[in-house]
Amino acid sequence: MAETRSIVVLTGAGISRESGLHTFRDADGIWATVNIEDVATPEAFARDPGRVQDFYNERRRGLVDNKIAPNPAHLALAEFETAFAGDFLLVTQNIDDLHERAGSRKLIHMHGELAKARCGNCGKFIEWREDLFTDTACPACDQAGGMRPHVVWFGEMPFEMDRIYEALEACDLFVSIGTSGNVYPAAGFVQAARMAGARTVELNLEPSEGASLFEEAVYGPAGTVVPGWFTDLAGSL
Ligand code: BJW
């Protein structure tokens, strides 16, 4: 097997499901109870900011609740990152902070972070663990009415795309975990990694939309599959 010097891991909502957070597109997922067009687009926020703030306030309260904790999949990725001597980048679509809490440091939140808020007036973003309201004032510029969750809605540009594509173009192993492969640009990362000549692996509960694009796959719950797979990888390096 070729040497593994540079690894990119992509995670989605499935990795946090065993920690008690909902996925989006499973039968009991978030989009089964609320319409994307009502809460996850800039148009929804312009039309009814209170509705959108309520949706994220409720999820933020759930996240800061101490009952939510990293599961063995988050912990295994953090442990692998610490031990691996090569280049490692964890790109998560998740807005929860379970990777950080597990100890991951080489991490990009491409769809933002629930525990941060951003001011539409001055552009600053800051840690935010409380509810947000339509008249919340920005601590940086003092203007009220512009604060929003620091997340990426449909039609908005995900964060740090240049850094992500740079890592994909240089990687020799790409591992996708717990994502359905419905949402772009993340769903296209496997193709970018393939073009770079990388080995591509899917670890998911079931085959994703893009399953045929991966060379290898292991199906099962992340908390079981991910620790075993990364232990084997570490042993093979
Ligand atoms: C388990 C498990 C267990 C369960 N263990 N596994 C037409 C064609 C192509 C693209 C477009 C198009 N029309 C529009 C677009 C673009 C659009 C898009 O992709 N739309 C599609 C719906 C078609 N994308 C965008 O608008 C993005 N921006 C953009 O494209 O900018 C332009 C650009 C161009 C070129 C380069 C760069 C940029 C922005 C997308 C923003 C997505 N935002 C959300 C909300 C974030 C905030 C929040 O959390 O509320 O992000 S939507 C939601 O979906 C969230 C997620 O991060 C994202 C992905 O979901 P994920 O993680 O895959 O979850 P699920 O539920 O779908 O899947 C879970 C998986 O886990 C399943 O497979 C389960 O089986 C599995 N699972 N339990 C392991 N225990």
Residue-wise pLDDT tens digits, 55-81: 999 999 999 877 899 999 999 999 999
**pLDDT confidence of residue 1:** 54
**Considering only CA atoms, which residue is closest to atom 12 of ligand 1?**
184
pLDDT, one tens digit per residue, over 78-121 is 999 999 999 999 999 999 999 999 999 999 999 999 999 999 99
Cα–ligand 1 centroid distance for 144 (angstroms)? 31
Specify burial of residue 210 (Cβ count, 10 A radius: 0-12, 13-18, 19+): buried
Rounded CA-CA distance 38/40 in Å is 6
Ligand 1 mutation target, pool 39, 118, 161, 183, most atoms within 8 A of CB: 183
What residue ranges line ligand 1, CB within 6 angstroms?
A: 12-14, 17-18, 23-26, 29, 40, 93, 95, 111, 151-158, 161, 178-180, 182-185, 204-206, 208, 221-222
Q: Quick check: 33 pLDDT over 70?
A: yes
Residues 6+ apart with CB under 8 A from 50: 133, 134
Cα–ligand 1 centroid distance for 3 (angstroms)? 31
* Residue 38 near residue 62, CB atoms below 8 Å: no
**pLDDT confidence of residue 152:** 98
Q: Quick check: 122 pLDDT over 60?
A: yes
Instruction: Tell me what the pLDDT averaged over the chain comes to.
Output: 97
**pLDDT confidence of residue 67:** 84
- CA dihedral 8→74→19→180, nearest 10 degrees, is 20
- Indicate if 111 belongs to the active site: yes
**pLDDT confidence of residue 11:** 99
Cα–ligand 1 centroid distance for 210 (angstroms)? 12
Atom nearest to 18 CA in ligand 1: 80
Rounded CA-CA distance 111/179 in Å is 13
Average pLDDT of the residues in 9-29: 97
**pLDDT confidence of residue 64:** 85
pTM of the predicted model as reported, rounded to 2 decimal places? 0.97
**Catalytic-role residue among 74, 99, 111, 150:** 111
**pLDDT confidence of residue 66:** 75
Cite the beta strand spans of the chain per DSSP E.
6-11, 87-92, 107-109, 112-119, 125-127, 147-151, 173-177, 199-204, 216-219
* Residue 74 near residue 98, CB atoms below 8 Å: yes
Cα–ligand 1 centroid distance for 13 (angstroms)? 9
